[in-house]
Chains A and B, each alone.
Chain A
Amino acid sequence: MFKKFFIPRMIQYFTVLFIGITLVFVIPRLLPSDPVSTQLHRMTSQGQYLDPAAVEEMRETLQELYGLKGGMLQQYFSYWKRLFTGDLGPSFTQFPTPVIALIRMSLPWTLGLLLASLSLSWMIGTVLGGIKVSFPNSPFSKATELLAMGIRPIPYYIMALVLLILFAFLFPVFPMAGGYSVGSKVGFNARFIKDLLRHSFLPILSMVVLEIGGWFLQMRNVASNLVEEDYVVYAEASGLPKSKIVFSYIMRNAIVPQITGFGLNLGFVFGGALITEMVFSYPGMGTLLYSAIIAGDYNLIMGINIFSIVGVSTAMLIIDLLYPLLDPRVRYQ
């Protein structure tokens, strides 16, 4: 079991990590922009007077500081060497701030936002999808389906903007921007947590409302196929209670693809939610990654993507390892 099941999966896991991390080293270097020129532009576009006579020498200095002077292979090896010591290098655009420090600043916001919205939408969507299939003709099920079908196609940014205009501008019950208020002392205290929740309410709501539809539809589709399976028909004929059939026979089987989807989405949280962050001016990894790409900040792009690669791969690995527990059929295979 260990040899046949565990080892191949671990080999696959580490291979994916190696290829992914190598790709995130190579791909940013194919960008037409380079971090040194971007930094020089930023200095001048933010007002610094750069005498043209100094530009070339400054370019040399920055290249040296950023560690971009050696060949690609040399940089690649030192990149792996650094990685093994947990050092993602300095950000070029915010030199010499370590990439890990920037990620540390943004990641908690993203994790809070995306884990909350993903978990809520997954739970609500999955339960509603299951209810829909189990009680297809109830008014509640019909209304839920209508709502899910109606809301799902709305482009996310429209939904986000509508919520913002409604609840932050026309009826200003929630703040228009930011993660917390002026005067809020950052810390694990009730006052700050309340303020935090108030600021994250609209961003989370905007994501939950749309994502519920997706989870609902997926659950409904999978579960509706199961309703006609022989074992469900047999259970109904045997006179088992409806709740037993719904939870133990239909939803338990239908939930496996839902869990796979949940796990995959869990891995994606490290990339952030760019549109949400922009619309609600909410801090997070999305805007960090976006600005890194625009500025050609290789180290920062690599750092964020390494988190994503490790996140998605690990989530997949865990799901893969948990499948036998969730689905007895896998155990028997």
Chain B
Amino acid sequence: MKLKSAVFLVLVAVACLSLSSWVLAVEPPRNETLIADILTGKVGNPGNFNFWATWVGNDKGLQQLVIDPLWMADYVTGEIINVLAAENPIYNDDFTTLTVKLREGVYWNDGVEFTADDVVYTVTLSMATPGLGYHTQFNQNIAEVVKVDPYTVVFELKEPNSRFHYQFLDRWGACRILPKHIFETAEDPLSFQFNPPIGTGPYKLVEYDLGGYWFLYELREDWDRTVTGMVYGKPAPKYVKFIHYGDASKKAMAQISHELDMADLTPESLQVVLSRNEYARGFYEDFPWAELLHPAVTGAAFNTLVEPFDNPEVRWALNLALDAKGLALTAYDGAVAFSPAYIPALLPYYEYYYEELQPYLEDYTIEVDGELYQPYNSNLPFEMAEEARRKGYTVPDTEKEIRIMFGYGWWKHSPEIAEKLLIKNGFSRGRDGKWLLPDGTPWKIEIVCLTTSTNPSFKWAFSIANQWSEFGIDCEAVPNEQVEHLTDMGDYQVVGGQPAAEPFGAGIDLYRGINVFKSAFFKPLGEERVGHQSRWIDEEIDGYIAQMELTDYNDPKNIELGIEVIKRLIDGQPGVSLASFPGFMGLDTYYWTNYPSGENPYAVPWYHWPNLKFVLPFLEPTGRE
């Protein structure tokens, strides 16, 4: 019996060791492979690469490495990059014709040349096939699309549209160009798997996991016949692997083990990685570690059709009851770039908008009980810097650097002004000090938010709820899986999330971020929204947006119009416009260095954006084995 047990145990041990020690011979060399996280998680349909139809697995490396758009936005440099297009879009005077000049000498990875036929086919196929991503938009806008010569395409539009090319301007999403010679062999373009994917990007698919956890790409031998090669040079990694390890704690473990070079982490997991991996860094080498300038403004939105949030003075009072510094410290340990103007804090927008708006904001007044009050605190970034220094963090000294890091300012914490505004509007405090509505009933606010605890929707909702509770309102944050449905139907009071839509972040035009406030898109409560979730509209804004639509997208007049829209948004306060989306990215420099960073912001740093292919030529191998 004893002998049998011993033999059994030995066999088990041998089996375990044999399983664990087995290493694949065909795994690509680690020091030639860049490994990045699949941000949106496990891919549900890994063998389907036809993202014109399904939008499945967009982040599995396709948009980052294989497929190209006509134009691409870079929110770090503010540039709009000509990718497959050779130059900027050319509109005629009344914006009814768009001419697109294409690059010459670009080849698909199966050796076929990219030409105007591909662009025309992408558009006509989309128009003819319900269910393709751009079917509706193209049919609404395009009268005809024609190839003038192999490198020129002309769109005849049904109505004047000065921004039609935005459908092709990639900002983590656009109508990219598909290969005609592949898709025309497909019986049904909707169910076509597009496997293997054929693209004009510098990498080709080698292999993928049938379970949807990883995808491996290899640099094309003819990388010099791609836009990336022509414009930026040879990408450094021979292989790029996209992998989903799981939640932030698993990503942290993988990064500590040097098995994940680029990852989206939480503030907490990033700190763990930094303490355990001497080669790891955040977007900044030191505080605030996170990428703070991102083209999405976060905070909260009021449902402006629901009492008492339909009253702009109440919305102002709720904003002034907030202590921005406290919010930033609670939610992100102070790593926040404030964005009070409903557009994100971004280097290009600093230049075009925040610099221009700063004097206006400093002089901005609201009237309370017949007295004028200036609510703006332009000193907040310096207070944040001081707070960070007090915590022992290293923070830049110059005004410019501090403003780049923390933004231009936010509203003063003014509970006494908020109190006056509420009392003026019929609110009162009960015996327990809690606020009562004008009808004398207790004021209860519910802030719905996403259930993902790392998302700003969640983080801001809880921090704001805490401060409004301290101010005397019975307020709670409620994470809800159905938050999108609730906001779609207008069945909420306040939602943690985005107080305005996301602009391109590149170029001067804010149209993408603000046209959601057009009154043409207004829907009453109970009907699915089309415009912004706050359902706030404004006649003056309609006028400015109408002027924008008649103005070339690149005309500096858009800056003036954009500023006017922002001023109306500030007056109306349809939300709590707090800060740009802070991104806690972990970067391992064990195998690769020279990632885009806070110290060297040369391009969009996120590996799930299509811009990754333009970053890869700048990465430098360390040569470590």
Contacts and interface: CB of A to CB of B under 8 A. Distances in A.
Interface of A: 31-34, 37-39, 41-43, 46-59, 61-62, 64-65, 93-97, 102, 105, 109, 164-165, 168-169, 172-174, 176-184, 186, 194-195, 197-198, 201, 278-284, 287-288, 291, 294
9 closest A-B pairs by beta carbon, nearest first, are A47-B173, A283-B211, A183-B26, A47-B172, A173-B20, A48-B173, A179-B211, A178-B213, A58-B136
Contact of A182 (B173, B188, B216): B216
B55 A177 contact: no
A54 B136 contact: yes
B515 A283 contact: no
Given A32-B482, A177-B246, A181-B24, A52 B140 contact: no
A52 B516 contact: yes
Contacts of B26: 182-183
A292 B45 CA distance: 13
Contact of A94 (B54, B58, B485): B54
A183 B55 contact: no
A49 B174 contact: yes
B246 A281 contact: yes
A283 B210 contact: yes
B185 to A, nearest CB: 18
A169 B245 CA distance: 12
B207 A46 contact: no
A291 B42 CA distance: 10
B171 A47 contact: yes
Contact of A61 (B54, B135, B254): B135
A49 B171 contact: yes
Contacts of B530: 52, 55-56
A284 B185 CA distance: 33
Contacts of A198: 19-20, 22
Given A49-B166, A201-B19, A59 B528 contact: yes
Interface in B485-542: 485-486, 488, 512, 515-516, 518, 520-521, 528, 530-531
A5 B130 CA distance: 54
Which of B47, B136, B174, B207 is most buried by chain A, counting CB atoms within 10 A of its CB? B136
A179 B210 contact: yes
Contact of B130 (A32, A64, A281, A288): A64
B173 A38 contact: no
A46 B48 contact: no
Given A32-B486, A48-B133, A49-B171, 9 more contacts: A32-B482, A37-B484, A49-B166, A65-B130, A182-B24, A183-B27, A194-B19, A201-B16, A280-B246
Q: Which of B18, B24, B257, B259 has the largest number of chain A CB atoms within 10 A? A: B24
A94 B207 contact: no
A294 B482 CA distance: 8
Between B46, B167, B211, the greatest number of chain A beta carbons within 10 A of the residue's beta carbon is seen for B211
23 contacts: A37-B528, A43-B173, A47-B173, A49-B174, A49-B512, A52-B515, A52-B521, A56-B530, A97-B45, A102-B45, A105-B46, A109-B211, A172-B257, A177-B243, A179-B209, A179-B210, A180-B211, A182-B207, A194-B19, A198-B19, A198-B20, A281-B250, A284-B211
B150 interface: no
Contacts of B167: 49
Interface string B14-39: 00101111101111100000000000
B161 to A, nearest CB: 10
B234 interface: no
Contact of A178 (B190, B211, B481): B211
B505 to A, nearest CB: 12
Nearest to A183: B26
A31 B25 CA distance: 49
Q: How large is the interface on B (under 10, 10 to 19, 20 to 34, 35 or more residues)?
A: 35 or more
A227 B435 CA distance: 69
Contacts of B27: 181-183
Contact of B246 (A38, A42, A278): A278
Contacts, number: 189
Nearest to A62: B131
Contacts of B166: 49
A94 B520 CA distance: 31
Contact of A174 (B20, B172, B531): B20
B212 interface: yes
B56 interface: yes
Contacts of A184: 24
B219 to A, nearest CB: 16
B191 interface: yes
Contacts of A46: 40, 55, 58-59, 172-173
B607 interface: no
Contacts of B133: 43, 48
A163 to B, nearest CB: 13
A95 B58 CA distance: 14
Contact of A54 (B130, B140, B211): B140
Contacts of A177: 213, 243-246, 250, 254
B48 A97 contact: yes
Contacts of B248: none
B601 interface: no
Contacts of A33: 482, 484-485
B253 interface: yes
A186 B171 contact: no
Contacts of A56: 530
Interface string B557-577: 000000000000000000000
Contacts of A94: 44-45, 48, 54, 56
A93 B174 CA distance: 19
A105 to B, nearest CB: 7
Interface string B212-250: 111010000000000000000000000001011111001
B28 A283 contact: no
Nearest to B215: A182
A52 B518 contact: yes
B137 interface: yes
A169 B276 CA distance: 12
B22 A195 contact: yes
Interface in B241-288: 241, 243-247, 250, 253-254, 256-257, 259
Nearest to B175: A48
A279 B212 CA distance: 15
A291 B136 contact: no
A284 B213 CA distance: 11
B131 A61 contact: yes
Contacts of A288: 44
Contacts of A42: 55
Given A47-B172, A183-B26, A283 B212 contact: yes
B45 A43 contact: no
A291 B130 CA distance: 25
Interface string B167-211: 101011110000000000000101100000000000000010111
Given A183-B24, A194-B22, A281-B42, A57 B136 contact: yes
Given A43-B133, A55-B530, A94-B56, A183 B20 contact: no
Nearest to B451: A294
Nearest to B206: A182
B523 to A, nearest CB: 9
A102 B213 contact: no
B521 A37 contact: no
Given A43-B133, A57-B140, A294 B44 contact: no
Most buried by B among A34, A55, A65: A55
A48 B253 CA distance: 32
